Structure 1
Amino acid sequence: MLEIRGLDVKYGGVHALRGLDLTVGEGEIVALLGNNGAGKTTTLSAVSGLVRPTGGRIVCRSQDITRMAPPKIVAAGVVHVPEGRRVFSTLTVHENLLIGGYLVRDGAELARRIDGIYELLPRLDERRAQQGGTLSGGEQQMLAIARALVARPDLLMLDEPSMGLAPIMVAAVMEVIRDINRGGTAVLLVEQNATAALKIAHRGYVIENGEKTLEGTAAELSIDTRVVEAYLGGAA
């Protein structure tokens, strides 16, 4: 599905990513763990075309997307939900979803996709006429994910979807991600809440200072003493 090989990204004199190798297989949830500043967000931004790599290759289903423009990357099946939700606060829930389908030229097809999202997320259906900025934090995160789903991605990339949410909403968001994955969408998940991420992921990577330092199945990482001590509160 996604193959990253030797990815380098520099911001001026800062070497944000150093020869990163990473893969996401068909139907997988892959967690990307690491401290703030490790390079997780930069990785997603490079894949989605928001940041231009200085070296390496990014391939999605045999198509080189390394230097594609972001709209073409979306059309290729890769959609990025950035940190901080970034819903359009003065637009309604429904209008936010319509924007997510800006590449869909068939109005009837767009309507079918949005109806399917309302079935998946009935809470948004109840609030379809409500302005995005009036939703709770958890509902805004659901809307941000839903807006991305309108494009029918093969790979959904999520940056810190649980940030700032109460534990009950974290569990709800993670369950939605799991449901999306069960529907066949691969997921690359950047998440500070390593415990929540490893509960739903199939595999994971740890990045430190722009370099991959660990990889393995979610079960393996959950009991690795280095991961436990650094990201899981010191208790396996």
Structure 2
Amino acid sequence: MLEISDLDVHYDGVHALRGLSLTLGADEIVTLLGNNGAGKTTTLSAISGLVRPSGGKVVFEDKDITGLAAHKITSQGLVHCPEGRRVFSTMSVHDNLLLGGYLVRDQAEVRKRIDRVYDLLPRLAERRAQQGGTLSGGEQQMLAIGRALVTGPRLLLLDEPSMGLAPLVVAQVMELIADINAAGTAVLLVEQNASAALKIAHRGYVLESGQGTLSGTADSLRSDPRVVEAYLGGA
């Protein structure tokens, strides 16, 4: 579904990505691991059109989307849910979800997608009239993911969905991501919580200083001494 070849990104005088290559299948959750500054967020931004690559190629469903505008990439079914949730704090939960359907012309389809989000996340249904900014951190993260689902992704890019959340809520968010994947949406997951990410991912890549240094199945990465020492707390 997704193939990145020799991707380079420069900005603000920094060579943020250096010849990065990776693939993702239509039924997969693939996670990107790495320390802060490794290039994980830049990778997602380059894929989704928020950052223009200086070299290399991004191919989505056999179409070269390298350097396309972000809204054109989104309209093709590749949807980016960025770090920090970014819900519209003074708008209701329901209106936040409606904005996810901004590019969808068929309003009946938008309503169907919102109903599916409410079925998947009944807590949002209970709070549909509540302002987004008054939700808990976990609820805001679920709203951000729900809004992305209304856009209709075939591939969902998720950036740090567990950031700042309590362990119990992290488990709920990871279960949600696994459910989304099981329902037919591929996921590229950037996650600082490597242990949680590797529990639901099929494969993973480790980034260091903008380069891919290690890749493999989730099981192989979980047992790799280098990953254990660097990202799993030596456990």
TM-score, scaled to structure 1: 0.99
> Which residue matches 2:200?
200
Q: Distance in 2 between matches of 1:132 and 1:12?
A: 33
Q: Distance in 1 between matches of 2:222 and 2:86?
A: 31
**The 10-residue stretch of structure 1 (204-213 or 109-118) with the greater mean CA deviation from structure 2:** 109-118
CA RMSD of aligned residues (A): 0.5
1:97 equivalenced with 2:97 (yes/no): yes
Q: Distance in 2 between matches of 1:36 and 1:195?
A: 16
Q: Cα offset for 1:101?
A: 0.3
Deviation readout 1:152-210 (Å, 9 max, x if unpaired): 10100000000000000000000000000000100000000000000000000000000
Deviation readout 1:46-73 (Å, 9 max, x if unpaired): 0010000000000000011101111110
Q: Cα offset for 1:13?
A: 2.2
Q: Give the aligned residue type for 1:94.
A: H
Q: Give the aligned residue type for 2:96.
A: N
Deviation readout 1:111-139 (Å, 9 max, x if unpaired): 11101110011000000000000000000
Give the ranges of 4+ consecutive aligned residues of structure 1 lying more than 6 Å apart after TM superposition: none
**The 10-residue stretch of structure 1 (5-14 or 225-234) with the greater mean CA deviation from structure 2:** 5-14
> Which residue matches 2:64?
64
> Which residue matches 2:173?
173
Mapping of residues 6-85 of structure 1, within 5 Å: 6-85=6-85
Deviation readout 1:1-50 (Å, 9 max, x if unpaired): 00000000011321000000011111100010000000000000000100
Q: Distance in 1 between matches of 2:41 and 2:138?
A: 21
TM-score, scaled to structure 2: 0.99
> Which residue matches 1:130?
130
- Structure 2, unaligned runs of 5 or more: none
Q: Number of residues paired by the alignment?
A: 235
